[in-house]
Amino acid sequence: MNVVDIAQAIEDMDNAENQVRVFRLLPKDSSAEVFSYLDSDTQSAIVEAITTSELKFLMEDMFLDDAVDFLEEVPANVVTRVLAHTSPETRNLINKFLKYPENSAGSIMTIEMMSFPESFTVEKAIAEIRKTALDKETIYTCYCTDSQRKLVGSVPLRRLIVSRDDQLISDIMYDDDQLIFVNTLDDQESVAAIARKYDLLSVPVVDNEQRLVGIITIDDIVDVIEEENTEDFEKMALLLPSDDEYLKTGVLKHTKNRIVWLLILMVSATFTGQIIEGFEDKLAAIAGLTACIPMLMDTGGNSGNQVSTLIIRGLALGTIKISDYFKILWKEIRVAFLCGLVLAVVNFGRMYLLRAITGSETTDSVFLVVCIAMMCAVMVAKMIGCTLPIVAKALKLDPALMAGPMITTIVDAISLILYFNIAKLILHV
């Protein structure tokens, strides 16, 4: 069975004792790999149950990035037990890794990379690879260093094995402009963007002195991409972002993640309340005006949501830049005009039909007010929807915070003011 499937099978057992028993039966050479695919609860249970020598073996056999991931998630007493039983070098390395800022390249890299001096020949490099391949996280891109351990080039294994044995690495490696790398402190999101842009299988990480300190492999980058997408989905839905899975998050944590923005936006609704209160007697006097408030608000909110999502996504994928703002605004004005027009015309028909059916007393002038207000609401919503995410980006804030619900609250207030003023103007109230 595949190690991923073994880990899954262990996860699916409902008894922690059985999980530990099965884990202990695994062949030595795959136990560390299976362990790295388990979730943190199961990992803790296993670490607490196995012997010291088993634990030592496990820690030395795991890739450093997996060990760090594991230690970041488990309770402090487990961390203490683990660190007490690892070799001093591993312990120092782990401590160093745990200190990198969250979501930095340093925090997700691993040190088990294939690297050799640029002065090697192809033959020597291949011999080195054959000797050490099993301890490396990947060997498919090798990195070349100079005498000060500075990163000076990269060479794909494919290029190595089609080269002549006596060629020098420095003659076949990609260097200068062709060499892509990141710094330990770079954000994981930008690392993912670079890997995606250049179709890399691994990205080398250097420190401030340009020394090669680690690599980030594509499987971890794929996880980063999904994590960053989840974070954007959550932020856009007014949630505090969280790395935990839905089912493993407690009720109190869920409540905490949700209540903050709900409270902020509920209190902001004071404005819309005040606007309506100021117009309450006129709303009461004219039949049909109040009934259209939800439709106007929802249509405005939905229109704004559409464009803000497109802009946020474009900014995240790098297909939209801040400097495109005026191009975008001009496009949105035209799209909003067309959308608004269609909506207004259909709405006129809908209200007309509804009056014929229900025999309500709503007048044609009210229809006109609603349709003009609809048009204005869509125009305002589209313009705000494309402006706010770009302003956020320019202010170095996360554009994802400027999504639907945030924009809805602003658009609500503006559309109501417009609605009531148009009503005043046309109905002379």
- In this complex, which beta carbon is closest to a second copy, that of residue 101 or of residue 140? 140
Least distance CB 191 / a second copy (angstroms): 13
Question: Site residues for a second copy, window 120-179 (CB under 8 A)?
Answer: 126, 129-130, 133-134, 139-140, 157-158, 161-162, 174, 177-178
- In this complex, which beta carbon is closest to a second copy, that of residue 171 or of residue 298? 298
Helices 16-25 and 28-36: crossing angle in degrees, nearest 10, is 140
Question: Site residues for a second copy, window 31-90 (CB under 8 A)?
Answer: none
DSSP 211: B
Residue from 299, 384, 410, 422 binding a second copy (CB under 8 A): 299
Distance CA 225, CA 46 (A): 29
Distance CA 245, CA 36 (A): 17
- In this complex, which beta carbon is closest to a second copy, that of residue 86 or of residue 415? 415
User: Residue 156: which H helix or E strand, with range?
Assistant: strand 151-156
Q: What's the angle, vertex CA 130, arms to CA 128 and CA 134, rounded to 5?
A: 110
Q: According to the binding rule CB under 8 A, does residue 16 interact with a second copy?
A: no
Q: According to the binding rule CB under 8 A, does residue 241 interact with a second copy?
A: no
Least distance CB 169 / a second copy (angstroms): 17
Helices 293-317 and 364-394: crossing angle in degrees, nearest 10, is 20
Distance CA 177, CA 114 (A): 21
Residue from 76, 99, 245, 326 binding a second copy (CB under 8 A): 245
Residue from 80, 230, 365, 425 binding a second copy (CB under 8 A): 230
Tokens encoding 298: 């929802």
Q: According to the binding rule CB under 8 A, does residue 29 interact with a second copy?
A: no
Distance CA 35, CA 3 (A): 9
Question: Site residues for a second copy, window 379-408 (CB under 8 A)?
Answer: 404-405, 408
Compute how many residues bind a second copy; rule: CB under 8 A: 114
Distance CA 337, CA 325 (A): 18
Q: According to the binding rule CB under 8 A, does residue 417 interact with a second copy?
A: no
Least distance CB 298 / a second copy (angstroms): 6
Distance CA 249, CA 158 (A): 44
Q: According to the binding rule CB under 8 A, does residue 421 interact with a second copy?
A: no
Closest CA to 312 of 206, 374, 251, 229: 229
Closest CA to 422 of 373, 381, 377: 373
Q: According to the binding rule CB under 8 A, does residue 416 interact with a second copy?
A: yes
DSSP 400: G
Least distance CB 135 / a second copy (angstroms): 11
Strands 141-145 and 151-156: antiparallel
Residue range at the interface with a second copy (CB under 8 A); choices 67-75, 90-98, 115-123, 296-304: 296-304
Q: According to the binding rule CB under 8 A, does residue 258 interact with a second copy?
A: yes
Q: According to the binding rule CB under 8 A, does residue 196 interact with a second copy?
A: yes
Residue range at the interface with a second copy (CB under 8 A); choices 13-21, 90-98, 207-215, 307-315: 307-315
Question: Site residues for a second copy, window 338-357 (CB under 8 A)?
Answer: 338-339, 342-343, 346-347, 350, 354
Q: According to the binding rule CB under 8 A, does residue 364 interact with a second copy?
A: no
Q: According to the binding rule CB under 8 A, does residue 288 interact with a second copy?
A: yes
Question: Site residues for a second copy, window 93-112 (CB under 8 A)?
Answer: none
Residue with tokens 């090669």: 212
Distance CA 234, CA 82 (A): 34
